[in-house]
Amino acid sequence: MREGLAGKYVGAKVRRVEDRRLLTGRGRYIDDLNLPDMAHAAFLRSPYPHAHIRRVDIDSARRMAGVFLVLTGADMARLTNPFLGMMALDGLYDPVFYALATDRVRVVGDPVAIVVAESRRVAEDACELIDVEYEPIAAIANMAQAMDPMRPPIWPRARSNVLWEDSQTYGDVEVAFAGADRVIRERFAQHRQSNQPMETRGSVAEIDPVSGELIFHSATQSAHSLKWSLAFLLERTSVWRSIRELATNREKPRKFVVGARAFIKSHPDLRTATKSSQPAMLKQLRREPKRIVHLSEALLGLLAKDPSRRPRVLAQDIGGAFGAKGLVPREDVALATAALQLGRSVKWIEDRNEHLMVGGQAREETLDIDVAVTSDGTILGLKVHMTMDVGAYPGFPFNGAFFAQMVKVMMPGPYRIGALRFDTTITASNKGTYVPYRGPWAAETWVRERMIDVVARELGIGRADIRLANMIGADELPAAMVTGPPLDVRMSARRTLEEALRVADFDSWDAIRDQARSEGRIVGMGLATFIEAAPGPPKFFDYISPGFSALAGVEPAHAVLEVDGSLSVITQQVPHGQGHETTLAQVAADELGVAVEAVRVRYGDSSITPFSLFGTGGSRSAAMAGGVVTVAAQELRQRVVDIASDLMEASTEDIVIEDGHIHVAGTPAIGVSFAEVAAEAVRRRPGSPSDGAIRVTSEWDGGAGGWAQATHVCWVEIDLDTGLVTIPRYVVVEDCGELINPAIVDGQIRGGVAQGIGAVLYERAAYDGDANFQAGTFMDFLIPTAMEIPDVEIHHLQTPSDIFANYRGVGEGGMIAAPAALTNAIEDALAHLGARITEQHLPPARILELAGVIEAEAPTEVGPPDYSAAAAVPAPRPSLIRERMPTLTPAQAQAVRRTATSVRSGARRFADRYAGRP
Footprint of other proteins on this chain (CB under 8 A)? 119-121, 124-125, 351, 353, 721-724, 762, 764, 766, 774-775, 777, 779-780, 782, 784-785, 787-788, 843-845, 848, 853-855, 857, 907, 910-911, 913, 915-918
Where does 762-866 have alpha helices with state H?
A: 813-830, 844-850
Which strand (E) or helix (H) includes residue 890? helix 890-902
Check: CB of residue 742 under 8 Å from CB of residue 11. yes
Residues 6+ apart with CB under 8 A from 730: 712, 713, 714, 715, 753, 790, 791, 792, 793, 821
246/845 with CB nearer other proteins: 845
CB of 434 vs other proteins, minimal distance in Å = 21
725/732 with CB nearer other proteins: 725
Residues 6+ apart with CB under 8 A from 649: none
CB of 290 vs other proteins, minimal distance in Å = 37
CB of 791 vs other proteins, minimal distance in Å = 16
126/594 with CB nearer other proteins: 126
CB of 320 vs other proteins, minimal distance in Å = 20
- Beta strands across the sheet bearing 706-718: 522-536, 706-718, 725-735, 793-796
Tell me how far CA of residue 584 lies from CA of 581, 628, 731, in angstroms: 6, 10, 28
CB of 703 vs other proteins, minimal distance in Å = 44
Quick one: which of 708, 725, 707, 715 has its CA closest to 821?
715
Distance CA 390, CA 164 (A): 11
CB of 771 vs other proteins, minimal distance in Å = 15
Mode of pairing for the β-strands spanning 379-389 and 365-373: antiparallel
Quick one: which of 601, 685, 163, 619 has its CA closest to 436?
619
Greatest Cα-to-Cα distance within the chain, rounded to the nearest angstrom: 97
350/368 with CB nearer other proteins: 350
CB of 762 vs other proteins, minimal distance in Å = 7
515/777 with CB nearer other proteins: 777
- Rounded to 5°, angle at Cα 232 from 56 and 355: 55
Q: Name the CA dihedral angle for 820, 821, 823, 825, rounded to a multiple of 10 degrees.
A: 160
CB of 917 vs other proteins, minimal distance in Å = 6
CB of 670 vs other proteins, minimal distance in Å = 60
427 Ramachandran zone, left/alpha/beta (phi>0; psi -120 to 50): beta
Check: CB of residue 789 under 8 Å from CB of residue 762. no
CB of 782 vs other proteins, minimal distance in Å = 5
673/722 with CB nearer other proteins: 722
CB of 100 vs other proteins, minimal distance in Å = 19
456/775 with CB nearer other proteins: 775
Return the sign of the alpha-carbon dihedral for residues 657, 662, 666, 668.
negative
Q: What are phi and psi of 569, to 5 degrees?
A: -115, 130
Tell me how far CA of residue 824 lies from CA of 297, 447, 828, in angstroms: 53, 11, 6
Q: Name the CA dihedral angle for 735, 738, 742, 745, rounded to a multiple of 10 degrees.
A: -50
689/906 with CB nearer other proteins: 906
Q: Which amino acid is at 685?
A: R
CB of 124 vs other proteins, minimal distance in Å = 6
CB of 411 vs other proteins, minimal distance in Å = 32
Distance CA 571, CA 593 (A): 20
335/340 with CB nearer other proteins: 335
Check: CB of residue 150 under 8 Å from CB of residue 884. yes
Check: CB of residue 741 under 8 Å from CB of residue 821. no
Residues 6+ apart with CB under 8 A from 115: 41, 42, 43, 44, 61, 67, 69, 70, 123, 124, 126, 127, 130
120/639 with CB nearer other proteins: 120
CB of 123 vs other proteins, minimal distance in Å = 9
- Rounded to 5°, angle at Cα 279 from 273 and 281: 85
**Residue 601's beta-bridge partner residues?**
569
Q: What are phi and psi of 195, to 5 degrees?
A: -65, -50
363/808 with CB nearer other proteins: 363
Which strand (E) or helix (H) includes residue 331? helix 330-342
Q: What are phi and psi of 271, to 5 degrees?
A: -65, -45
775/815 with CB nearer other proteins: 775
CB of 747 vs other proteins, minimal distance in Å = 22
CB of 721 vs other proteins, minimal distance in Å = 4
487/842 with CB nearer other proteins: 842
CB of 378 vs other proteins, minimal distance in Å = 42
611/778 with CB nearer other proteins: 778
E strand intervals along 60-128: 67-72, 83-84, 96-97, 104-105, 111-117
42/147 with CB nearer other proteins: 42
The HSE-up count of residue 475 (CA atoms within 13 Å, CB side) is: 0
Mode of pairing for the β-strands spanning 567-571 and 599-602: parallel
Secondary structure (3-state) at 567:
strand
121/265 with CB nearer other proteins: 121
Q: How many CB atoms lie within 10 A of CB 720?
A: 17
664/757 with CB nearer other proteins: 757
Quick one: which of 543, 278, 522, 509 has its CA closest to 422?
543
For 622-649, give one letter per residue: b (16+ CB within 10 A) or e.
bbbbbbbbbbbbebbbebbbebbbebbe
CB of 522 vs other proteins, minimal distance in Å = 15
538/843 with CB nearer other proteins: 843
